[in-house]
Amino acid sequence: MERPEQLGQETIDGAGKVIAVHLNYPSRAAQRGRTPSVPSYFLKPATSLALHGAPLRRPRGVELLTVEGEVALVIGGRARRVSPEDAWQHVGAVTAANDAGLADLRWPDKGSNLRSKGVDEIAPIGPALLPAQELDPANLRVRTWINGELIQEDSTATLLFPFAQLVADLSRLMTLEPGDVILTGTPAGATVAQPGDLIEVEVDGAASDGGTLTTGRLGNRVVDSPAGLEPYGAMPQLTDADRIDAWGSAEAAGIAAVPAPVATTPAPTTPADKRPASALTPELTATLRSVGTATLSVQLRRRGMQNCHIEGLVPTKPGAKAVGTARTLRYVPAREDLFKAHGGGYNAQKRAVDSLREGDILVMDARGDKSAGTLGDVLALRAQVLGAAAVITDGGIRDFGPVSGMDIPAWGANPHPAVLGRRHVPWAVDETIACGGAAVQPGDVIVADEDGIVVIPPHLAEEVANDAAAQEREEAWVAERVAEGHPVDGLFPMNAAWRAKYEAAQDRAAQVVSEVSPKP
Cβ(153)–Cβ(203) under 8 Å? no
Residue in 303, 322, 309 with CA at minimum distance from that of residue 460: 303
Our CA angle for 130, 184, 10, nearest 5°, is 45
How many Å apart are CA 489 and CA 265, to the nearest integer? 63
Predicted local confidence at residue 256, as pLDDT: 58
Helix (H, G, I), strand (E, B) or coil at 181: strand
Cβ(358)–Cβ(85) under 8 Å? no
Predicted local confidence at residue 249, as pLDDT: 77
Query: What values do phi and psi take at 94, rounded to 5?
Result: -120, 140
Instruction: For 60-117, write each residue's pLDDT tens digit.
Output: 889 999 999 999 999 999 999 999 999 999 999 999 999 999 999 988 886 789 999 9
Cβ(105)–Cβ(115) under 8 Å? yes
How many Å apart are CA 89 and CA 28, to the nearest integer? 28
Helix (H, G, I), strand (E, B) or coil at 453: strand
- To the nearest 10 degrees (0 to 180), the angle between helices 461-483 and 282-289 is 30
Predicted local confidence at residue 2, as pLDDT: 56
Cβ(394)–Cβ(411) under 8 Å? no
How many Å apart are CA 485 and CA 503, to the nearest integer? 20
How many Å apart are CA 464 and CA 298, to the nearest integer? 9
Residue in 67, 69, 30 with CA at minimum distance from that of residue 186: 69
Per CATH, the number for 5-253 is 3.90.850.10
Domain ranges of the chain: 5-253, 272-462, 487-516
Strands (E), 316-355: 322-333
Cβ(383)–Cβ(433) under 8 Å? no
Q: CA dist 302 to 298, 464, 493, Å? A: 6, 10, 15
**Size (the chain), residues:** 520
**Quick count: other Cβ atoms within 10 Å of Cβ 333?**
12
Cβ(189)–Cβ(151) under 8 Å? yes
Predicted local confidence at residue 245, as pLDDT: 81
Query: What values do phi and psi take at 276, rounded to 5?
Result: -80, 155
CB-based contacts of 1: which residues, under 8 Å, 6+ apart? Answer: 207, 209, 211, 213
The runs of H, that is alpha helices, within 77-189 are 84-87, 114-117, 163-171
How many Å apart are CA 401 and CA 413, to the nearest integer? 15
Per CATH, the number for 272-462 is 3.50.30.40
**Quick count: other Cβ atoms within 10 Å of Cβ 38?**
10
Helix (H, G, I), strand (E, B) or coil at 393: strand
Classify each residue of 183-197 as buried b or exposed e, where b means 16 or more C-beta atoms within 10 Å of its C-beta: bbbbbbbbbbbeeeb
pTM of the model: 0.54
What are the DSSP calls for 421-432, one per residue?
GGTEEEEEESS-
Helix (H, G, I), strand (E, B) or coil at 226: strand
What does each of the 520 residues of the chain score in pLDDT, given as a tens digit? Answer: 456 889 989 999 999 999 999 999 999 988 777 788 899 999 999 999 999 999 999 998 899 999 999 999 999 999 999 999 999 999 999 999 999 999 999 888 867 899 999 999 999 999 999 999 999 999 999 999 999 999 999 999 999 999 999 999 999 999 999 999 999 999 999 999 999 999 999 999 988 788 899 999 999 999 998 888 888 888 888 877 788 888 887 778 877 544 434 434 444 443 444 578 899 999 999 999 999 999 999 999 999 999 999 999 999 998 999 999 999 999 999 999 998 888 888 899 999 999 999 999 999 999 999 999 999 999 999 999 999 999 999 999 999 999 999 999 999 999 999 999 999 999 999 999 999 999 999 999 999 999 999 999 999 999 999 999 999 999 999 999 999 999 999 888 889 998 899 888 888 877 775 665 555 5
Residue in 135, 140, 167, 171 with CA at minimum distance from that of residue 153: 140
